[in-house]
Amino acid sequence: MRGIPATFVAVLTAVMILLGYFVSLPALESARTLLLGWAVTLVSVAAIVGVFNLVAVHWRKLFIPGRERDVYSAFFLLAFFVTLVVGLWLSPSDAQYQHIVTSIQAPVEISLMAVVAVSLAYGVLRMLQRRRDLMTILFVLSVLFFLILESGILAPLAYNPLLKQILHLVNRIPLAGARGILLGIALGSLTTGLRVLFGSDRPYRG
Amino acid sequence: MASSIDLVWVFVGFLFTVLILSYVLGDNPFFRLASYVFVGISSAYLVVLLIYQVILPRLVQPFFETSSSQLVLHLVLFVMCLLLLTKLSPRLARFGNIPMAYLVGAGTAVVIGGAVLGTIITQVKATVAYRSASAEIMPGIRVLEGLVILLGTVVTLAYFHFGARTKTEGETPSRPLWLEMLSYLGRFFIAVTFGALFVSVYVSALTALIERLSFIIQSVPMLLKGLG
C-alpha cells in the first residue's frame, strides 16, 4: 500500500512521455516537453543531493570521533569548499574561474587517460598469462590486427585492389558485432523499461 | 615570455600530471591526494554549474516571471524538488520516493523511446538494407559485406540468448543445438569487435600519454627558467 502513490507517479509519467513520443498530438507533445523539463530540474537537484551526500561522507570520515581519520578527506573538503565559494561568488561564466578550474581538471583528466594506456597494456598481458582459451586468442589477434591497421603500416596495401577489398571486408566484422551488441543493449533496456512501466520493478522505493 | 601567473598554472598542471602518472608505480599517497582534490574541485564545479544554469533559471526565476496559472504548475515542481532534498536525511528519505518515482518514470520513457526509435528500428533497418558506403568496392564483395553484417548481427545477438530448457526431468537445462552453434559463431564476432573497440580506446589513451609526456618535457625547462 505504501508504494502505490510512487508507482502511480512513475507509471503515469512514463505513459504521458511515451504518448508524447509516439502520438502526434500538440497537447501530448507539449505535456512531454513540460514533463521532460521538470525531469531535467529534478535530475539537477538529485545531482546536488548526491554531491552533498559525498561531502557529508568525507566530513564524517574526518570529524566523527572513534573512527580512523582519512586525511585525504581534508584535501577533498578544502578543494570542494574553495571551488564552491569562489564559483558562487564569481559565477561559472567568469573567465578567471574557468581558467583556474580547467588548469587542474584538464591535466588530471588527460593524465588519468594516459594511465589507462599503461593499465590496458598490462591488462592484456595478464589476460594472456591467466586465460588461454579461444576467445582470448581471438581477442588478442584482433587487437594486434587493428593496432597494425591503425598505425598506417598497411596503408600501401590499399594500392593493391584485391587487398583493399579484403581489408574493407575485415573492417566490417567489428561493425556487425557492435550492431549486435547495440541491439542487445536496446532490447535489454526495453525489457527493463517495460518492467518499470508495468510496475513489476520499483527501483524508487528507498 | 610567460608571465609569473602563467608559470604558476604550468607548475600546477605539471604537479598534477606527475602526481596522477605516479599511479603507474602502483597506488600511492600522491595519486590519492591528486584524485581527492580532483573529485573535490569537479563536484563543486558541477554544483556551481547546476545552480547557475538549471536551478536559478528553471526553478527560481519562474516565480518572478510566470502568470498565476503557470505558477500552480511550477509549485508542483518546487515541492517535488523540496521532497527530493529529504533524501539527505535517512529519517526523512521516504518522502523523497515520489520525486524519485517521477525521475524513474521519465527515465524509463526516455529509455524505451530511445531504444525503439533510436536503436532497434534504425539498426534493424540498416542491417537488413545494408549498402556499402564506398563506391570502389566490387559488387561481389558488397554482397559478401552485407552478408557479414547480417550474419554478424544475428549471431552476436544469439550469443546473448541465455534462455535454456530441459527436455526430461532432472536433465541439465541447455540451449537448442542450432542456437548453440550460432552463439559459438557469435563469440568470434564479439571477440573481434571487442578487439577493435579496445584498440580505439588504447589509441586514444596512448595519444593522451604522449601529450602528457610532451607537456612534462616542455614544461621542465620553462619552470627552471622561471625559477632562475
**Contact across the interface for A190 and B49, Cβ inside 8 Å:** no
The domain boundary residue, chosen from A69, A90, A116: A69
Residues near A58 by beta carbon (within 8 Å), at least 6 away in sequence: A70, A73, A76, A77
Residue A46 scores a pLDDT above 90: yes
- Assess contact for A45 and B55: CB atoms under 8 A: yes
Of B96, B141, B194, the CB nearest to A139: B194
Higher-confidence residue: A81 or B146?
Answer: A81
DSSP one-letter code for A67? S
Name the residue among B93, B108, B73 with its Cα closest to residue A12: B108
Cα torsion B68, B73, B76, B77 to 10°: value is: -110
Residue A30: which domain range?
Answer: 1-69
Kindly state whether residue A204 falls inside one of the protein's structural domains: yes
Q: How do residues A172-181 score in pLDDT, each as one tens digit?
A: 889 999 999 9
Phi first, then psi, for residue B21 (nearest 5°) are -65, -20
Kindly state whether residue A87 falls inside one of the protein's structural domains: no
The domain boundary residue, chosen from A69, A91, A114: A69
Q: How many alpha carbons lie under 13 Å from residue B80 in its C-beta half-sphere?
A: 26
Kindly state whether residue A184 falls inside one of the protein's structural domains: yes
Residue A1 scores a pLDDT above 60: no
- Assess contact for B90 and A164: CB atoms under 8 A: no
For residue B112, what is its C-alpha cell?
524505451
Of B54, B190, B201, the CB nearest to A177: B190
Give the whole-angstrom CA distance, residue B108 versus residue B111. Answer: 5
Kindly state whether residue A53 falls inside one of the protein's structural domains: yes
Which residues of chain B are within 8 Å of residue A40 when distances are taken between CB atoms?
Answer: 54, 58
pLDDT at residue B89, rounded to an integer: 87
Residue A192 scores a pLDDT above 60: yes
Residue A39 scores a pLDDT above 70: yes
Residue B174, strand partner residues: B165
Kindly state whether residue A13 falls inside one of the protein's structural domains: yes
Predicted TM-score (pTM) of the model is 0.86
**Contact across the interface for A184 and B155, Cβ inside 8 Å:** no
pLDDT in tens, chain B (228 residues): 567 788 888 999 999 999 999 999 989 999 999 999 999 999 999 999 999 999 999 999 988 887 777 888 889 999 999 999 998 888 888 888 899 999 999 999 999 999 998 888 888 888 777 666 666 777 777 888 888 888 999 999 998 887 777 777 777 777 888 888 898 899 999 999 999 999 999 999 999 999 999 999 999 998 888 877
pLDDT at residue B126, rounded to an integer: 82
- Assess contact for A103 and B159: CB atoms under 8 A: no
Kindly state whether residue A112 falls inside one of the protein's structural domains: no
Name the residue among B223, B202, B172 with its Cα closest to residue B13: B223
What amino acid occupies position B63? F
pLDDT at residue B192, rounded to an integer: 94
**Contact across the interface for A197 and B44, Cβ inside 8 Å:** no
Q: How do residues A193-203 score in pLDDT, each as one tens digit?
A: 999 888 888 88
Distance from the B150 Cα atom to the nearest Cα atom in chain A, whole angstroms: 7
pLDDT at residue A161, rounded to an integer: 81
Phi first, then psi, for residue B174 (nearest 5°) are -145, 160
Q: Could you give the number of structural domains in chain A?
A: 2
The domain boundary residue, chosen from A16, A44, A69: A69
pLDDT at residue B24, rounded to an integer: 92
pLDDT at residue A154, rounded to an integer: 80
